[in-house]
Every structure is written in C-alpha cells, then in structure tokens.
Structure 1
Amino acid sequence: MKQVDLAAASGLKPSKISRLLHDSHKKGNTYSISEIDINRISIALKWGKAGREKLRYTLFPELLCYDGALENYEGLVQLNCRLYDNGFPLIKIEEKY
C-alpha cells in the first residue's frame, strides 16, 4: 500500500503518514502520534487488535514496562525501576506530607 493510499484509508494527512514512516524521533521534529492515529492506521490496514497492539508497542516501547508493573500490581517506585532498567525516562513521584 502506498503512503497516499494509507492516508486516504485512515483519514490522516499524507504528511502525517510520511513523518510516521520516516524517523519521527529526529531532533527538532515536533510530530507525535496519538492513540487515535494508531487506531486509524490499524483499521485502515485491517490489522485487528493484535496488530494495533504491536504498532503501539513499536511506537511506545515503554508501555511494556507499564504493563509489567500493572500485571504485577507494582507501585510507582517499581515502575521507575523497570523504566530505568530499560533506558526510559522516569516518571516524577511527588512526596506528600
């Protein structure tokens, strides 16, 4: 499928599709993909739920850390350990007194 066809089928602009398929993590690039974009692309490509999840984890690999913490009923400290071990930014934990 060509980029222009994917754009038409997903309802996204061709420029969004182009940026997604190229290195959107280059310095200075302000484009970010949304959950709605992921859903539209997955539906346009007829990937189903499993395909959508694969795309989500490809675009946001840190979600695996969150899933692991959720599955194991872990707290924020343990989540940050998972994020740190995998080289992802930590989430801020505010202390309450």
Structure 2
Amino acid sequence: MANTSYAAQGSISYGWYDKQTLHPWFEVEIGATIDSGIFNRELGDSLEERFWTAAIRAYPFTFETWNDQLNSKDYGPTYGARLTMDLYSFLPDSWKNP
C-alpha cells in the first residue's frame, strides 16, 4: 500500500431550482476524479485511478453513476450506480429542527 494518497475531484452542474426550498426541480451534473492510488505496483509506484461521474436529480430523487473508463484500462465490472430519495421534506414538521 502507498504511504500517502492524493485525490482531486471536480464537477459542474446545471439545473432549475425551487426559489423557496432551493431543491432542484431538475439538475444534471458531470464530473471527474483522479486519485494517486492507495495500492502499489510490484516496483513500488502507485496505481493511479481516474473516474468519470454523472448525476441526474429530479426532486426528491437522485440517480448517480460512475466508472473508471478515464483510465483507458476498463476491463471489468467496475461500474457503479445508485438511486436515492430525499425523505427529509416528507417528515412531519415536529420532527425537524426549529
């Protein structure tokens, strides 16, 4: 394992938002991540990793996906995705902080 690891991530998004709640009515986001790697090759140099990511938000749902195709070494099932739902706005007001 590498002694240290560094990561950088950037993304850009565009969307339409509710002016009162600031929740996105609809939003699209794309991004990229580069990581110096936590694992080493046999000779000791780190295994750098690069990922792209994309997200679509339509309140209260978010669909996100990512893949390491930016490495140009995508040979296997390294695809990830998740679907989430924001439940906070559906809670009774008495459960929320004042």
* TM over 0.5, shorter chain: no
TM-score tier by shorter-chain length is under 0.3
TM-score w.r.t. length of structure 1: 0.21
TM-score w.r.t. length of structure 2: 0.20
Higher helix proportion (structure 1 or 2): 1
Larger Rg: 2
